[in-house]
Structure 1
Amino acid sequence: MSISPYDRDLYRAFTELACEPGAIGDGFARWLGALPVQLTEGLDRKRHADLKAWHGALEKLPTLPIEREVQLDADRVGARFPTGLSTGQQRQSENLLRAMMPWRKGPYQLDELHIDTEWRSDWKWQRLAPHLSDLTHRRVLDVGGGNGYHGWRMVGAGAAFTLVIDPSPRFYCQFHAVRHFIGADHPQGRNLHFLPVGIEDVPAKMTAFDTVFSMGVLYHRPSPMDHLFQLRDALRPGGELVLETLVVEGDVTTVLMPGERYAAMPNVYFLPSSQALAHWCERAGFKDVRIVDEAMTTLDEQRSTDWMTYHSLSDFLDPDDPRLTREGHPAPRRAVLIATRA
């Protein structure tokens, strides 16, 4: 089997973890055996017509200076080069990175190039980071992690192994583009990995991760309880769940099931109140459940930019009443919940 240069470190990390004793090693050994099929299917150009162009842009990124200053604990994740990039390298990089648009999660600072993404994902990190258990030396799974922005922040916070899973091949290419600037051989660059799969492709009952993040995923699941069970089963006993999702105001019995669309999104199923969400987590086998943040999504946090030129939040709200979506539902409100696997 030929392993892509982009995935060699992923195989290496899985192989090392498969040698761990007990449930950890068993879980990663089972997953290691599934990697070839998962990568082949997730990056199948017959299923993803634009993947050839994105992958081509990735391969054409210029060779960069070895010496670099990596920034993973700053709002703008990325790297700077003390010797600088030539005008040609800067122009080539920007053109190729723009070929992977839209860029939704960020922001990134790749030398002089600022990728101003649709989401100010750094604001979300600022809200939840003070409430996290120390990530130092932890094994972390980021479910639906987009192009890896929060994964980089997790590594910057000390995580020893972080795996971002997201079925989007565009995000896979964006992740590896950023990794090209950070440096695949950089000590921290080797601690973050991307696999183009969903949570349903994680081996059952892995019980192998110290921390599992699921942010912006639950409301896309037709069965939210099944998603919570999957997250629980990926965690070791005593491991920490970080769950962020859309919520509505109300009591423990309040749940909104929108119609065909919510804020123009066609695949939104259940929006509980934060109290109902906490109750769901307790029923799913979590303890010490607490809501650590709840806030409306503002037009400064999610918006169109030069790197995401499509419609964004302002286009999805009622033009006469921004407290409502254009379908008449409560405008987006998000909560962050942290819990422990019992």
Structure 2
Amino acid sequence: MIDYTAFLASLADGPLTKWRHPISEGLQQRFDSLQHGDLERWQASLNKLPSLDEVEADLVNGVTLRSRHPLDAKAQTTLEEGLRGLHPWRKGPFDLFGIHIDTEWHSDWKWQRVAPHIDLRGRRVLDIGCGNGYYMWRMWQAGASMVIGVDPNLLFLNQFEAVKRYLPNAPVWQLPFTLEALPEPSNAFDTVFSMGVLYHRRAPIDHLLQLKACLRPGGELVLETLVIEGDEQQCLLPEDRYAQMRNVWFLPSVAMLERFLARAGFNDIRCVDLNRTSVEEQRSTDWMRFQSLPDFLQPGDASKTIEGHPAPLRATLVALKPGG
């Protein structure tokens, strides 16, 4: 379905050499076993995207692609039809050859809050739960030498490929795996991101230990997750749903989250951002036409979810693996 030849070749040397064979086998097994009712439609949409030469990328303020040769009306229409066939678009926005994809999330706002606190120059980066790859393009622009993202969602993979096909030589790759399905990482990564994942984990400490195992000694974790206000004893465990999400488990206070990280063996732990998610940052759009945050808050009281929990508050913490 997707050609990973160049990616596998990039693993020939360096700390990820041991990944080459198991990743190749894992991809073969993953694609051989694919069963998804929408996959054929997504692939048809991806294949509809026009071939373009002399593509220029502007990734400084977002993810913008341009062609030195303006698209004619037919190509523009075909491009938009192909991109709309990959609905819903959740992370972004993207500007692709004159078409603005107004995604559910203003992910550019989150990146603006995170980017000042990290240095990715020359670093090998792993992005866990990477979605459609929006942040990976920003990571590469920030100087990362290689960015690998993992996410089992096949729609997100096809959305990533919609951009990757126009930047085929970029050292940015997305694998349709979970973190648990990856081979032993051999302490290979300089920076590991886990953004919007921890609260979906039934065993948050285990997740942090898995992330630490991916880092080289002295490597950096960037962790973003839902939290609540309170001291180091405070944690919310929803009885059922949180903001209409079923698979939300632990929402700790920042102080408790810092303790989680310390117990997992991280040091130099610091909270670099605390932000209440607004209905301007997450909302329904023409490119994501399902319900979104405004529908998940109590009418007349945006401080609470529809279930009565505190409204989404997100913290970003940075921590180091000892050593190095």
TM (normalized to structure 1)? 0.91
State the match for 2:58 in structure 1: 71
- Pairwise CA distance, 1:242: 0.2
Where 2:147 maps in the other structure, the secondary structure is strand
Q: Aligned-pair distance for 1:9? A: 2.1
Q: How is 1:26-175 mapped onto 2 (pairs within 5 angstroms)? A: 28-43=16-31, 46-64=34-52, 66-75=53-62, 77-132=63-118, 134-175=119-160
Change (3 A) 1:38 1:205: closer
**Gapped regions of structure 2 (runs ≥ 5):** none
> 1:255–1:270: 8 Å Cα contact kept in structure 2?
yes
In structure 1, the residue matched to 2:311 is: 331
Match for 1:8 among 5, 9, 16? 5
Q: C-alpha offsets along residues 210-236 of structure 1, whole Å, 9 cap, x if unaligned? A: 000000000000000000000000000
Task: Quickly say closer, same or farther: Cα 1:126–1:199, change in 2 above 3 A.
Answer: same
Q: What letter is aligned with 1:112?
A: G
Deviation at 1:38, TM superposition (A): 2.6
Q: Which residue of 2 aligns with 1:184?
A: 168
Counterpart of 1:252, as a letter, is: E
Instruction: Answer whether contact 1:6 1:176 (CA < 8 A) is retained.
Output: no
Aligned-pair distance for 1:160? 0.6
Task: Decide whether aligned partners of structure 1 residues 42 and 101 sit closer, same or farther in structure 2, where only a CA change above 3 A counts.
Answer: farther
Seq. identity, %: 49
CA deviation digits over 1:142-162, x for unaligned, max 9? 000100000000000010100
Letter in 1 for 2:168: A
User: 1:164-207 CA deviation, whole Å, 9 max, x = no partner?
Assistant: 110101111000101123x213xxxx210000111111223520
Unpaired runs of 5+ residues, structure 1, are: none
The farther-off stretch of 210-219 and 29-38 is 29-38
> How far apart, in 2, do the equivalents of 1:280 and 1:314 lie?
31
Q: In angstroms, what is the RMSD of aligned CA positions?
A: 1.4
What letter corresponds to residue 6 of structure 1 in structure 2?
D
Task: Normalising by structure 2, report the TM-score.
Answer: 0.96
Moved over 6 A (4+): none
Distance in 2 (CA, whole Å) between partners of 1:218 and 1:14 is 28
Does 2:193 align with 1:213? yes
Amino acid at match of 2:60: D
Are 1:144 and 1:214, in contact at CA under 8 Å, matched by a contact in 2? Answer: yes
Pick the aligned partner of 1:241 from 221, 226, 231. 221
Change over 3 Å in CA distance of 1:321–1:42 after alignment to 2:
farther
Displacement after TM superposition at 1:137 (Å):
1.2
